[in-house]
Amino acid sequence: MGRWRVAAALVPALAAALVAGWLWRDNRALRAELDRVREPAPAAATAAAEATDTRAAAQPRRGGVAGFLRGLGRASDRERPELKDAPADESRSERRRRRQEELRAMLGREPDETVEEYRARVAPMIQTALAMPRTRLEESRREAERAAGVTDDQRAKIDELFADVSRETLALTNEAITGGDLTPYERNYAGVLSWAGGLGAILGTTQTRMNEILSPDQRAAMSDSGFEWAEYFGVKIPWENLQPPPPPSGS
């Protein structure tokens, strides 16, 4: 049971770290950019603010997964049902059903959709969503490695470790998708916990191998620079290569 509790806590923590890291870096980059831009004249700034408020009032509120889906768009010409905006007075159960529908629309497979069609639709969406975080984390890794004095030999061993982590994680996730533990069609908490247990084992082995590659001082230096290996691996793994889920049952 201890392993399940650790694994169940690991996945939300990793997801939170990823989101927090992206938001922090985005915020820092935006603040730096704003400092370089000359502040507009008061009259122009007031007019621009009023125009922005007017446009914002005219636009419907679109957040959450639905807004993410609309922003990315579709990579194929297949017709998809339009997702409804969230009503202001929806109940908790209604919100859960809506989010499940959004997940099914984003990652579910149509009854007549082939593997090639699914990949053509979903892979570009995942690549678009992860393109900027991947670039920033790659730059962050280089800066952290310089600060920690990581050698070329150590870097090669880390790359080899990452290749193993990617292969094992994708194999584990593909198995969970095929078996229905990870499915976009319904909530499967037991299946997610089962997948998380395997993921926790992979991350544990990864940490042990990383400790053998880098010295304690090097790991501390990289951590002090704000870099986290779990965040890097989580974003850099080629999730776009995952196999499609089976069509929904009864199709």
- Domain residue spans of the chain: 64-241
Spatial CA neighbour of 144 closest among 232, 243, 72: 232
Spatial CA neighbour of 108 closest among 186, 196, 220: 186
Q: What is the largest CA-CA distance in the chain?
A: 64
Least confident of 50-54, 123-127, 165-169: 50-54
Tell me the H-state helices in 79-114: 92-107
Mean per-residue pLDDT for 159-181?
96
Taking the C-alpha atoms of residue 236 and residue 169, their distance in angstroms, rounded to an integer, is: 12
Mean per-residue pLDDT for 178-195?
92
Task: Write out the two tokens for 41.
Answer: 């004249």
Predicted model pTM: 0.64
Q: How many Cα atoms are found within 13 Å in the side-chain-facing hemisphere of 123?
A: 12
